[in-house]
Amino acid sequence: MKDLLTLTVNGDTHEVAVPTHWSVLETLRYAVQLTGSKQGCDKGDCGACTVWLDGVPTLSCITPVYEAVGREVRTVEGLVGLRTPVGVAHPLQDAFDVCGAAQCGFCTPGILMSAAALLEENTAPTRDEIKDALSGNLCRCTGYTKILDAVELAAERMRQTTEVPA
């Protein structure tokens, strides 16, 4: 059995017919065709599926799609143009490139979404605050140091672009 749902994803409205048991992740990947959010553990342990629901990092693999109805869903594809001109990478995406913070890249979308949520609230986080914000995101490749460096670099760049000259 399928239900017809209307979702707002990255500012666009999508009408989708999905099985009643689908998660937000399954809907994004298989109905909306946005594959940036990764299907990792399917039980909320790895964070590769992290998206925002109304600006809050959410594990989309364990969130029923019905919880996204009437809310704004933002995926890693929706970071482009957020805090930058349309078509320009988010400061985090650029910093991950500069710092070599993505290795295999599987965990990167979820980490970017968790880190971006932190930086929306706090553009001057401490290293411990960054670690806390990313504590639900697992990475097998990097050892996290370059990821933490990249978030710090992005935060610094975001502060520089929002500071008003005296």
pLDDT of residue 87: 83
**Which residues 6+ apart lie within 8 Å of 92 measured at CB?**
79, 112, 115, 116, 119, 150, 151, 154
pLDDT of residue 86: 81
Q: What is the CA radius of gyration of the chain?
A: 16
Confidence (pTM): 0.94
pLDDT of residue 22: 98
pLDDT of residue 143: 85
Instruction: State residue 62 phi and psi, 5-degree precision.
Output: -115, 10
pLDDT of residue 33: 98
Low-confidence residues of the chain: pLDDT under 50: none
pLDDT of residue 112: 98
Domains of the chain are: 2-77 (3.10.20.30), 91-161 (1.10.150.120)
Bridge partners of residue 50, in order along the sequence: 59
Distance of CA 103 to the CA centre of its chain: 17
Sign of the C-alpha dihedral, residues 22, 27, 28, 34? Answer: positive
DSSP 164: P
